[in-house]
Amino acid sequence: MARYIPGATSVEIPLRDTDEVIELDIDQLPEGEEVIGILKDERAPLHTWVTLALHYYKQNKYEDFAKLLKASRTDADIDYPDHEKDQMAALDILAAYHVEKARLEKNKDAKKEQFSQATLLYTT
C-alpha cells in the first residue's frame, strides 16, 4: 500500500489484476501526464495518486502536483476500506494549495479565483 513517506526513494503502482508493480524512482519522476495515464490504466488506488502528487510537490513540480490531485477526483480507484479518509486528504491538500497560491497572488481577480477554488474544495 503506497503512502507518502518522507525520504522514500520510490513509489510502487500496483498493476491491475496481478501481484506485480511498476516502481517509480522519486528522483526521476516522469512528466505528470505520463503518470496520470499509468495510474488511470492500472486503476490505481487514490492513496497512490496522493502519494505521487506529494512527491511532485516536494520537487517543486506544482503543475504536475495539481494535475494529479485534480485527475484523482474522477479517475482514482476508491474501492477499498477507508477510502473516504484519502478522499478528504486529497481535497484538503488541493484546497490548501489554492489558498497558498492565493496568498502569493498579486492580481486581485486571480487571488479571488484561487480562494474560490479552495472554498469549493473545502466544502465538497
The pLDDT tens digits of the residues spanning 16-52 come to 889 999 999 999 999 999 999 999 999 999 999 999 9
**Predicted model pTM:** 0.90
Which 8-state DSSP code applies to residue 76? Answer: S
- Alpha-carbon distance of 124 to 121, in angstroms, equals 5
Tens of pLDDT along 50-95? 999 999 999 999 999 999 999 999 999 999 999 999 999 999 999 9
Q: Where are the beta strands (DSSP E) in the chain?
A: 10-14, 21-25
In this structure, what C-alpha cell is assigned to residue 75? 479517475
Q: Counting beta carbons within 10 angstroms of the beta carbon of residue 79, is it exposed (0 to 12), middle (13 to 18) or buried (19 or more)?
A: exposed
